Amino acid sequence: MSQQVTEITHRLVTSPGGRIHLVEQGTGPLVLLVHGFPESWYSWRHQLPVLAAAGYRAVAIDVRGYGRSSKPAPRDAYRMLDLVDDNVSVVRALGEESAVVVGHDWGAAIAANSALLRPEVFRAVGLLSVPYTPPGGPRPSDIFAQMGGDEEFYVSYFQEPGRAEAEIEPDVRGWLAGFYAALSADTMPPSGAPDPHFVSKGGTLRDRFPVGRLPAWLSESDLDVYAGEFERTGLTGALNRYRNMDRDWEDLAAFGGAPIPQPSLFAGGGSDASTTWLTDAIKAYPVTLPGLVSSHVLDGCGHWIQQERPDEVNRLLTDWLAALPT
């Protein structure tokens, strides 16, 4: 059902960490949109008006540590349990009892865990780019330390406090441009080139980023928005998500192997390592996501799926939402 699209509204709501900044558009059933690294509510700019026009109350947040949301100082304030609590607090602050939650990248993990831990609040879950993997298994830092041989996996690089900040913060705009380009289908390094997910000894991530060309989905003004946010906030709050992965592993141990039974959707990019490295997780969906409605891998799409292919993602989301039980 198409509705007249209202203007977007910015709001601050109270959360356990202080405040969450959100942007909302439309009226109807609540759809909560959760971004990943290194982004903001703005990564959902193409989805907000379409969801609003389809009859939903679309709400995109700045995750704790980003944008105008609070940035608590303690490193362990960015554990998964806290981010799930933030999502619940947003739903409650908006006067709603339940919501559909959709996440991209780290937001996909936050959305999945929100549905897993609080099924009475999150009645359905959409995951973009990063497949669902149930809690459990080996300690995350041990897994990442074994990847790459003589090179260092980017997650391990991000986990050391201050290290990535020293690389990024002298030139936030340039670093973000390179990072976005490195993971976009039209600008990523060609097959056989050094992998930008790894760091050589004594090097930086930026050494392997493409230079001088923005991906087609990212305009100079879009880049200005992202750079302006991180130039103001710094990167520590965002990077602290990576620095809590072992804490999450401990916090969620009681949910080891747990499936998410609510209706679910997955969409990933065929050229995105976050999707292709986890093909076994996608194959396990009949067990891990027994409520899965549909799963899609978009050929020729990179990591920033809802920005690279907004029309396709919007169609997948609206079709899935329309089929959900009310």
Q: What are the structure tokens assigned to 230, written together?
A: 């991180």
| Long-range CB contact pairs, 139-148, < 8 A, 24+ | 139/246, 139/249, 140/245, 140/246, 140/248, 140/249, 141/245, 141/246, 147/198, 148/198
CA distance 100 to 189: 35
Integer Cα distance of 107 and 36 in angstroms: 5
Nearest of 243, 305, 290 to residue 115 by alpha carbon: 290
Whether 105 is catalytic is yes
Active site residue 303: yes
- Exactly one of 105, 197, 248, 272 is catalytic; name it: 105
- Concatenating the DSSP letter of every residue in 112-146 gives HHHHHH-TTTEEEEEEESS----S-SS-HHHHHHT
With H, G, I as helix, E, B as strand and everything else as coil, classify residue 205. Answer: helix
Burial class (CB in 10 A: 0-12, 13-18, 19+), 109: buried
Alpha carbons 274 and 305: distance in angstroms, whole number: 11
Side chain identity, residue 219: S
216 in helix, strand or coil?
coil
Q: Which residues are catalytic?
A: 105, 303
